[in-house]
Chain A
């Protein structure tokens, strides 16, 4: 009798399980919903961090949008060029060219900027900005409260020793989270390989910009005049580098009187560059005089 009980139990439960199993298997076939076969493939190419940098709800939403053609194949910044190329292959499109972009904070102020007051409120840039338009005299400067640091999922942005947010290009995936978090909107994207950047976003006129920060761009145009590649221009009162033309010679950073262009040159480097310029000018002058003398001799 006991034996029978056990056998019954096993039979009933096993039978039920088998029945449900079969029903589910049949149901899976009958109610099969056609999922776009590209969907799982694209999902594999995406970063899978669900960072939301693409603007869609999670990686699944991004994959849907890419299939629907609403999002570009490069929508997933963390997946990088490699991921974009794979997705492009799946979608039957050509792989996008262009180099990896990283976020970049356009401010070099921090300690060099003039403070309006000392902010002791919530550690949040927007919060600081709400109090008398922020503790900085500069209306374009980084507040250094670290809203972007909190927004970064990849530990790629930190407040540096100057009190300004700085991106680690190695870790940055250009997901755009910091750009969205920054209330000053001073985070842009730049090619990852480039090292020369204008480090000020202040569009104020020279005298005003001069007062609010030691490292502000005053729009003097020294960089523009000295650039040999026509790659830097003063637009709206602040210098901007055209990364298509920039060769990374750093001349602009050496001539900048405000130390507003990265990498900031040391005074020695500047002196050296000035000496070179002087020598070149003298050489040119001598050559011009020689040419004049030769012409005069010819005329005679």
Chain B
């Protein structure tokens, strides 16, 4: 456990193993909330926030499950944890930070069932990360999601004004764009060797 290790995890989560472009997790909000850059940033921040929190919580839940020999229940238990966590955070924010609550708005409850959040929890367990590594992986994974959705939204915004063939208008060209972006991110795969 050293700083370089954490850096490696961060770079891996943001670029090499980007949740969207290499692991294909969280595609639903990626396509759904990427029509405007500002909503995309809102969604990305919300995901980052929840992924960091979820990593921390599921770490302890996983310890409990392992202690009792119930590893096979990870998925179910994690879903439970994440769902209640998001609910709790929503209530807390509504009271304590109304401005942030209105800014994130509808995205927060949407994340409850986001597979990227469940994915980060399960990957933490798979990679045998300790607590700090888990949290770092969660937050940087969220930042990777933020980067991906922001880039995609920015391209989609300009696509609105581009002359696309009739049959590609709207969603098809967006999917092609996503594929090209994913190809671009493939270029990072040779960069980090530790993972």
Q: Mark A11-40, 1 if CB is under 8 A from B, else 0.
A: 011001100110110011011110000000
Q: In whole angstroms, how far apart are the Cα atoms of A28 and B94 in the complex?
A: 10
Q: A12-B64, A13-B73 are in contact. Are A31 and B84 (CB under 8 A)?
A: no
Q: Given A20-B81, A20-B84, A24-B88, are A12 and B68 neighbors across the interface (CB < 8 Å)?
A: yes
Interface assignment of A276: CB less than 8 Å from any CB of chain B: no
A220 to chain B, nearest CB (A): 50
Q: Which residues of chain A are near B68, meaning CB under 8 Å?
A: 8, 12
Interface centre among B64, B80, B84, B98 (most CB of A within 10 A): B84
Contact (Cβ within 8 A) B65 A12: yes
Binding site for A on B (CB under 8 A): 61, 64-65, 68-70, 73, 76-77, 80-81, 84, 87-88, 91-92, 94-96, 98
Residue among B64, B81, B94 making CB contact with A31, cutoff 8 Å: B94
B81 touches A16 (CB 8 A): yes
Provide the bound-state CA to CA distance between A211 and B143, in Å: 67
Q: Can you list 11 A-B contacts (CB < 8 A)? A: A9-B70, A9-B73, A12-B64, A12-B77, A13-B76, A16-B61, A20-B84, A27-B92, A31-B95, A33-B94, A33-B98
| Chain B residue with the shortest CB-CB distance to A32 | B95
Is the beta-carbon distance between A23 and B84 smaller than 8 angstroms? yes
Across the interface, do B80 and A13 meet the contact criterion of CB distance under 8 Å?
yes
Residues of B within 8 A of A33 (CB): 94-95, 98
B9 to chain A, nearest CB (A): 28
Question: What's the least CB distance linking B35 to chain A, in Å?
Answer: 16
Chain A neighbourhood of B92, CB < 8 A? 27, 31
| Chain B interface, >50% SS class | helix
Residues of B within 8 A of A12 (CB): 64-65, 68, 70, 73, 77
Which residues of A are in contact with B by a Cβ distance under 8 Å? Answer: 5, 8-9, 12-13, 16-17, 20-21, 23-24, 27-28, 30-33
**Nearest-neighbor residue (CB-CB) of A17 within chain B:** B80
Question: What's the Cα separation between A20 and B58 when bound, in Å?
Answer: 13
Q: How far is the CB of B93 from chain A (nearest CB, A)?
A: 9
Closest to B73 in A: A9
Question: Given A8-B70, A16-B80, A24-B84, A31–B61 Cβ distance below 8 Å?
Answer: no
Q: Is the CB of A23 within 8 A of B64?
A: no
Residue of B whose beta carbon sits closest to that of A29: B91
Closest-CB distance, B65 to chain A (whole angstroms): 7
| Docked pose: A5 CA to B71 CA in angstroms | 11
Chain A residue nearest to B93 (CB atoms) is: A31
Distance from A125 Cβ to chain B, minimum over Cβ atoms (Å): 22
Residues of A within 8 A of B88 (CB): 23-24, 27
A23 surroundings in chain B (CB, below 8 A): 84, 88
Q: Across the interface, which residues of A come within 8 angstroms of B65, CB to CB? A: 12
Asked whether A27 lies within 8 Å of B69 as measured between CB atoms, the reply is no
The complex places the Cα of A219 from the Cα of B81 at a distance, in Å, of 75
User: Are the C-beta atoms of A24 and B87 separated by less than 8 Å?
Assistant: yes
Chain B residues in 8 Å Cβ range of A27? 88, 91-92
Does A13 lie within 8 Å of B77, measured CB to CB? Answer: yes
* CA–CA, A30 and B95, complex, Å: 9
Point out the residues of chain B lying under 8 angstroms from A20, CB to CB: 80-81, 84
Task: List residues of chain B with CB within 8 A of the CB of A17.
Answer: 80
Give Cα distance in the complex from A27 to B93, angstroms: 11
Nearest CB in chain B to that of A11: its residue: B68
Task: Give the CA-CA distance A79 to B168 in the complex, in Å.
Answer: 40
CA of A73 to CA of B135 in the docked complex: distance in angstroms?
Answer: 50
Q: Which residue of B lies closest to A21 (CB)?
A: B84
For the complex, what is the distance from the CA of A5 to the CA of B69, rounded to whole Å?
8
B-side contacts of A32, CB under 8 Å: 95
Chain B residues whose CB sits within 8 angstroms of the CB of A21 once the complex forms: 84
Question: Within 8 Å CB of B61, what residues of A?
Answer: 16
A residues near B81, Cβ cutoff 8 Å? 16, 20
Distance in angstroms between the alpha carbons of A32 and B70 in the assembled complex = 36
Chain A to chain B: the 8 pairs with minimum beta-carbon distance, closest first: A20-B84, A31-B95, A31-B91, A27-B91, A33-B94, A8-B68, A27-B88, A33-B95
Whole-angstrom CA separation of A21 from B73 in the bound complex: 19
B12 to chain A, nearest CB (A): 30
Sample of 15 further A-B pairs with CB below 8 A, known A17-B80, A20-B80: A5-B70, A8-B68, A8-B70, A9-B70, A9-B73, A13-B77, A21-B84, A23-B84, A24-B91, A27-B88, A27-B92, A31-B91, A31-B94, A33-B94, A33-B95
Please name all residues of chain B whose beta carbon is closer than 8 Å to the beta carbon of A31 when the two chains form the complex.
91-92, 94-96
